[in-house]
Structure 1
Amino acid sequence: MNRALDHLYIFAMVFLTAYSQVVMRWQVGHAGNLPVGLPGKIQFVIGLLLNPWVISGIIATFFAGVSWMLALTKFQISYAYPFTSLVYMLVLASGVVFFRDGVNAGRLVGTAVVMAGVLIIARFG
């Protein structure tokens, strides 16, 4: 049972990282186009950094790092690291659901291959 609970560190990292990426995409999309001049770019970035949603994404990234450190106390990196690819799958699915990003056969097949790889490592790793 402890080994199953140890995986929560990995899955917390995956969820927090995916959350951060989706929130950043959402808020950058709301912020509009990046201005051309340097002063406008600086103001644009400062505005994003003061946005509560962006701050939550930064905090999530920090705690994803903490979760990853805790996971590495329980697992070899060669076992744990492939699970990071689950972030890609969550972000891909979130992009489709929330942002109507396009998905083609290549992305679906690639995602299935990655998922199969993670399952094999989780089962036999």
Structure 2
Amino acid sequence: MGYIYIAGCILFTVYGQLVLKWRMNLKGQLPEALNEKALFMVKLFLDPWLVSGFAAAFVASLFWMAAMTKFEISFAYPFMSASFILVFLLSMFLFGETFTWGKVIGLLLITAGIFVTVKL
């Protein structure tokens, strides 16, 4: 069951990050003028998709708390790096973000770090 808690945390974290990026792409740049910034922020907090992203972060934290009842943090935390891999892959597919070998090498190093931390 503990691994399900970790997976839930990762999935809700990834969902939240992707939804926030999607909606921010649609909303555009943060305005320069202070009064326009305030209005921009109010509109953001009224966007139901952004609210779902914030809710996902909250749910992810609940899954994380449950995972902490099953594992030592030094064992469980490296698995959170899987969110980097999922966000990278999904952002290329969903947003057309760039693929670079540097990113791939970095993700491979992260993956190797997960295995080294969990297995040793």
Using the size of structure 2 for normalisation, the TM-score is: 0.94
**Distance in structure 2 (CA, Å) of the matches to 1:41 and 1:84:** 33
Percentage of matched positions with identical amino acids: 35
Q: How many residues align?
A: 120
Equivalent runs, 1:39-78 vs 2, <5 Å: 39-78=35-74
**Distance in structure 2 (CA, Å) of the matches to 1:89 and 1:60:** 18
Equivalent runs, 1:8-23 vs 2, <5 Å: 8-23=4-19
**Distance in structure 2 (CA, Å) of the matches to 1:35 and 1:113:** 38
Return the offset for 1:120: 3.9
Deviations 1:97-125 (A, max 9, x none): 11111121111011112112223444x25
Tell me the SS of whatever aligns to 1:75.
coil
Return the offset for 1:33: 1.8
Which ranges of structure 1 fall in alignment gaps of 5 or more residues?
A: none
**Distance in structure 2 (CA, Å) of the matches to 1:33 and 1:113:** 33
Q: Which amino acid aligns with 1:50?
A: L
From 106, 115, 118, the counterpart of 1:119:
115
**Distance in structure 1 (CA, Å) of the matches to 2:23 and 2:81:** 23
Which ranges of structure 2 fall in alignment gaps of 5 or more residues?
A: none
**1:90 corresponding residue in structure 2:** 86
Q: 2:21 matched to 1:25?
A: yes
Bigger Cα displacement from structure 2, 63-72 vs 106-115: 106-115
Bigger Cα displacement from structure 2, 24-33 vs 111-120: 111-120
Using the size of structure 1 for normalisation, the TM-score is: 0.90
**RMSD after superposition:** 1.2
**2:100 corresponding residue in structure 1:** 104
